[in-house]
Structure 1
């Protein structure tokens, strides 16, 4: 996963998931997806699209874009949707991997500063608090 992320960062000169997605010709749409869905990755007939819930704040929109980009890079050929934890859908392996991908992409080449915790590193890079645990699980 780290090799994929570093290759993307080198190729596009950024770890911004919106710039990377557009560079990969993935269309991004902001829509009202309802209260239980944060994002959707859709792939059909060579057309790839990320839908992001338009009611999310900016850090969550960035994270969801990175998460759905993770599905594109790690799980080609699948369309996925991301439901909140209180739903009956079990996130499973693919969702955990996409969360890990998102955390590591958003951290990019950034590193811990002296006296800084991993929590501070995640916070500094705009990763939502609920997703910090994925920093330690690669």
Structure 2
């Protein structure tokens, strides 16, 4: 599954970069995220509970940041295991571009799923992934705006 997109965020690039690297903000914005802990400057562990179609699973995983070029870009990659529900692994290249007082966040993501989730069919998995991404960006934009107004 491949997914690319662009989101306009009404905040300066430095603020967006800071939020993208703040586990507390990310935990509030990632749909189903139950825990997100930084274990090193470039590694995090996460537990995420998701329901895709008829399959519900709690995924335990690791996330790594690489190719870090603050505050412009990085690569995020991760892998999660959800028991009999299956696994998910993938990564995304994220680029932040300044546009006046706003930031354009561009992403290019690739993911693989296996197990029961993969048996649901790519259409359902792809549409679920797009909905989860939309929810993340809506919550992320809201979190940045709340941060700026605090």
User: Given the two structures, how large is their TM-score scaled by the length of structure 2?
Assistant: 0.27
User: Given the two structures, how large is their TM-score scaled by the length of structure 1?
Assistant: 0.29
By relative contact order (CA 8 Å, sep 6+), the higher-ranking structure is 2
Q: Where is the strand percentage greater, Structure 1 or Structure 2?
A: 2
Larger Rg over CA atoms: 2
